[in-house]
Homo-oligomer: A and B are copies of this chain.
Amino acid sequence: MTQQVPVEKKVLNENQRIAAELREKFARNNVFVLNFISSPGSGKTSLLERTLQGFSPDTRVAVLTGDIQTENDARRLSQFGFPARQITTGGTCHLDARMVEKHLADWDLSTLDILLIENVGNLVCPSSYDLGEHAKVVMLSVTEGEDKPLKYPSIFFKSELCIVNKIDLLPYVPFNLELAKENARRVHPGMDILEVSCTTGQGLDVWQTWLRERREKALSAEVASKA
């Protein structure tokens, strides 16, 4: 599809411009932002539910959740008492920076410390669209096969962290966890990898520690750049 390339480039450049504005705005307001990407059904919404559940009520956190259709996820996520808003893309297979900008327009970012963005379920297209986040987090569930990092290298290369979910199902599926990690690190050497089960809660403490420490690192970097 060579005809599409110049237009795609223009769209991506425009996205990059808006993402840079968002990033600057997040930094000015000390908001730490993560962009969660996975296949449909890997457990992004379940992880966010567990994460919100684990926060004390005074945590200044909000969620944006993307889907092609339905407001189901925002409904699921709003029951924890933190702001949760749905971005319905209406057919588009990924979130882009303009959608995030638009859905944040009437939120006062100075009231937030953490913004969690759940992308559309898709292991391909979301990897091309910067949303101004501090880091991308890719999820892979053990039911999907250990070859996925090799088949979808772009998102594993661009994500700082890989969360392997549904480890409670390991006894029932032919999934080689060590090989999956090896494949992820072949694509992205040194990648952080955590193993969790959003069903049993296993590993979620380690995830919460990762989130807290990564946020502190981002804040220190921003303080240093302002000094």
Interface segment among A55-63, A105-113, A138-146: the answer is A138-146
Is A184 an interface position by the 8 A CB rule? no
**Is A70 at the interface (CB under 8 A from chain B)?**
yes
Between-chain CB contacts (< 8 Å), 9 pairs: A39-B144, A40-B123, A40-B152, A41-B144, A68-B152, A68-B154, A70-B147, A93-B122, A169-B172
- Do B11 and A151 have beta carbons less than 8 Å apart? no
CB contact between A151 and one of B14, B121, B166 (< 8 Å): that residue: B121
Number of copies of this chain that the complex holds:
2
Q: A144 — which chain B residues lie within 8 A by C-beta? A: 39-41
Closest residue of chain B to A169, judged by CB? Answer: B172
Interface size on A, residues (CB 8 A): 44
CB distance from A205 to the nearest CB of B (A): 22
CB pair A67–B124 under 8 Å, yes or no, is no
Is A29 interfacial (CB 8 A cutoff)?
Answer: no
A221 at the A/B interface (Cβ < 8 Å)? no
Mark interface residues in A72-105 (1 if CB within 8 Å of B CB, else 0): 1000000000000000000111001000000000
